[in-house]
Amino acid sequence: MLLLLSACTVWHPPLSGLMLEPAVPMTWDDVFAHPVESVTLDSVVSGRWVAQSKGLINLDHPDAVAAGLKNRDFPIALTVHVIDHPRKGRWIVDTGVAVDEDGDLANIQGLLGSVLSNTEILTPLDEILGEAPLNGVLLTHKHVDHVMGMGDVKKGTPIVGGPGEWGQKGAENALLRKGYKRLLKGHDVRELRLEDAVEIGEFKTWDLHGDGSVWVLYTPGHTPGSLSFVVNNGSPTLLVGDSSHTWWGWDNGVEPGGYTEDSELNRASLHALRRLAEAHDMRVEVGHEEHFSITEPQSPGSAE
Ligand SMILES: [Zn+2]
């Protein structure tokens, strides 16, 4: 973890390829045979947005067409996943929302104003974190709805994204650059490096704490550096991120729609994640719907 403290802009994970040599598990079976049971995961809905189902689900996919899905407003959850480790402390996945002293969204000027006005604030990140020190932030990716809680993250806390995530220069990013700049000003943004990843099964992956408790999976497609996460604590959970925003997309293996940058790559990542979850009977959290939806599936195409 020492390297996390260095000033370089590229983040080196605690285990290099060399150090991994004797202990690196070669299969996910090996990983799950050695859980770290004292690690806990808590998923909290910080806020809500209204999105469009054509952004969340590829409605042109034959399965979506066959299911009769049509575009409509689709409420989404902005979730923060809190991972506590007895020695490595508290890390979070994504940041939810942050509020200023008036209870309004903090530091979001320039970030998709009209969309942000639809944000419902439930539990600001500050409240989720409480008094416990925050040791690091993992970002599934850098889209606005995942970084807008950054105002509640103390400067100097490592903010870790996937390979290539921050170097991207798309049109959207030109528009949003100012907003992002404001949001991330003074923050310690790092990027994982592919050459430091190990390959397990179908994934390039990083062992966050060096003890096999939290695995960062490279799942590009939604964005170039999209990440998913495995929490290996005896009842393993897969945090899918926006490789699938919805349960319908997850259950049917249909990638997101317009919100995704590379559909084919996203689909490949999604299918690999589904194979991993199925093979190991994992608990799954998709990007923007809560867990209870598993038993009460929403039909994104249904009439209002
Ligand atoms: Zn998102």
* Alpha-carbon distance values, 26 to 155, 183, 194, 239, 274 (Å): 37, 39, 17, 21, 19
Domain assignment of residue 113, yes or no: yes
- Range of 273's domain? 37-291
- Work out how many domains the chain is built from and give that number: 1
Cα(24) to centroid(ligand 1), Å: 32
Domain assignment of residue 235, yes or no: yes
In our burial notation (b when 16+ CB lie closer than 10 A, e otherwise), range 108-128 reads bebbbeeebeebebbebbbeb
pLDDT in tens, 214-255: 999 999 999 999 999 999 999 999 999 999 999 999 999 999
Domain assignment of residue 287, yes or no: yes
Domain assignment of residue 10, yes or no: no
Q: What is the CATH number of the domain that holds 197?
A: 3.60.15.10
Cα(289) to centroid(ligand 1), Å: 10
Cα(77) to centroid(ligand 1), Å: 9
pLDDT in tens, 58-108: 999 999 999 999 999 999 999 999 999 999 999 999 999 999 888 888 776
Residue 9 has pLDDT above 60, yes or no: no
Residue 168 has pLDDT above 70, yes or no: no
Cα(191) to centroid(ligand 1), Å: 19
Place of tokens 């199925």: 278
Cα(22) to centroid(ligand 1), Å: 37
Query: Residues with Cβ within 5 Å of ion ligand 1?
Result: 145, 242
Cα(11) to centroid(ligand 1), Å: 23
* Predicted TM-score of the model (pTM): 0.87
Domain assignment of residue 296, yes or no: no
Domain assignment of residue 180, yes or no: yes
Mean pLDDT of 4-19: 34
Domain assignment of residue 122, yes or no: yes
Domain assignment of residue 302, yes or no: no
